Amino acid sequence: MSAAGNDDAIEIRVAAVDDGNRLMEFLHEHYYREEPLTAGCAPPEPDEADEKFLLSNLPHGTCLLMLQHGRIVAAAVAGPKTADEAAHLFAEAAHLAGSKWGRILGILAIAERDANVFARFNVDRALHVHAIGVDAALRGRALGERLMNALADRGRDLNYPLLTVDCTSIYSGRLMKRLGYESVNRMPYTDYVDVAGQQLIRPPAPHEFLETFALRL
Ligand code: COA
């Protein structure tokens, strides 16, 4: 895969299992620090289970690296899901209750249930974006847009009927809107509370809600 029409030496390719270490190094620097769910609950670092889950998507051939002169400048982690995804996320969240990743899975489970994409789009599987990060020094230059377009192409090549993404960041939400994704659910962070009514995740401003978007492929 290459970005035809651009002469900025950018190359986009499918990430291999062997890329796991450098992908994770990139995500620590340019994704986890600012991703609103990770930034919105203590401790600041992601749980190991979170990192392991992201890396478990590599064998599906659905994760992409954007490289400039061999250096990673953006990455997208995506993987397959089926209609039992919400149930699976609720079970995992319960199993990991009390941990940071358990808390994050809890809000993702609610978003998955409420977006209800399998019934809404009448499909039995979808490609779901779990993470997207662009080098902090290169934001706002449409690299995220190019990467998402390449991911949609990859999804079509692999015969996925639908691409979905939970935008936890207002910036990724803007990007999906600009790309023509349909907004299917919006959940304010103030709605995600424990039994005592305490808000469980508090992302920094300007991020106020998790919005789920979908694109038919
Ligand atoms: N400050 C203000 N606006 C920003 C911004 C920043 N730091 N970063 C991106 N934007 C805006 C762009 O101006 C653009 O808005 P527009 O459509 O109104 O013009 C939109 O966000 C997307 O721009 P684009 O250039 O296509 O995307 P990008 O290459 O900047 O990448 C992200 C967007 C979200 C991938 C990038 O901001 C990022 O890596 N964030 C940290 C990790 C994260 O939160 N990932 C998303 C979790 S769902």
Q: What is the CATH number for 120?
A: 3.40.630.30
In the chain, % of residues over pLDDT 90 = 96
Q: CA dist 51 to 16, 31, 150, 176, Å?
A: 16, 12, 23, 24
What pLDDT, in 10s, does the model give residues 67-87?
999 999 999 999 999 999 999
SS3 state at 58: helix
Choose one of 139, 146, 209 to mutate for the ligand 1 pocket test, by most ligand atoms within 8 angstroms of C-beta. 139
Does 21 fall in a domain? yes
Domain-located, residue 4: no
Residue 143 lies in a domain: yes
Q: What are phi and psi of 9, to 5 degrees?
A: 60, 30
Is residue 209 in some structural domain? yes
User: How do 209-216 and 182-188 pair as beta strands?
Assistant: antiparallel
**Residue 145 Cα to ligand 1 middle (Å):** 9
Looking at residue 8, what is its pLDDT? 81
Considering the domain boundaries, does residue 194 fall inside one?
A: yes
Q: Tell me whether residue 3 is in a domain.
A: no
Confirm whether 1 is domain-assigned.
no
Which residues' Cβ are closer than 6 Å to ligand 1?
Answer: 30-31, 34-35, 132-134, 139-145, 167-169, 171-172, 174-175, 178
Q: What is the pLDDT along the chain (217 residues), one digit of tens a residue?
A: 544 445 589 999 999 999 999 999 999 999 999 999 999 999 999 999 999 999 999 999 999 999 999 999 999 999 999 999 999 999 999 999 999 999 999 999 999 999 999 999 999 999 999 999 999 999 999 999 999 999 999 999 999 999 999 999 999 999 999 999 999 999 999 999 999 999 999 999 999 999 999 999 9
The total domain count for the chain is 1
In this structure, is residue 52 part of a structural domain?
yes
Domain of 177, in residue numbers: 10-216
C-alpha 91 – ligand 1 centre gap (Å): 32
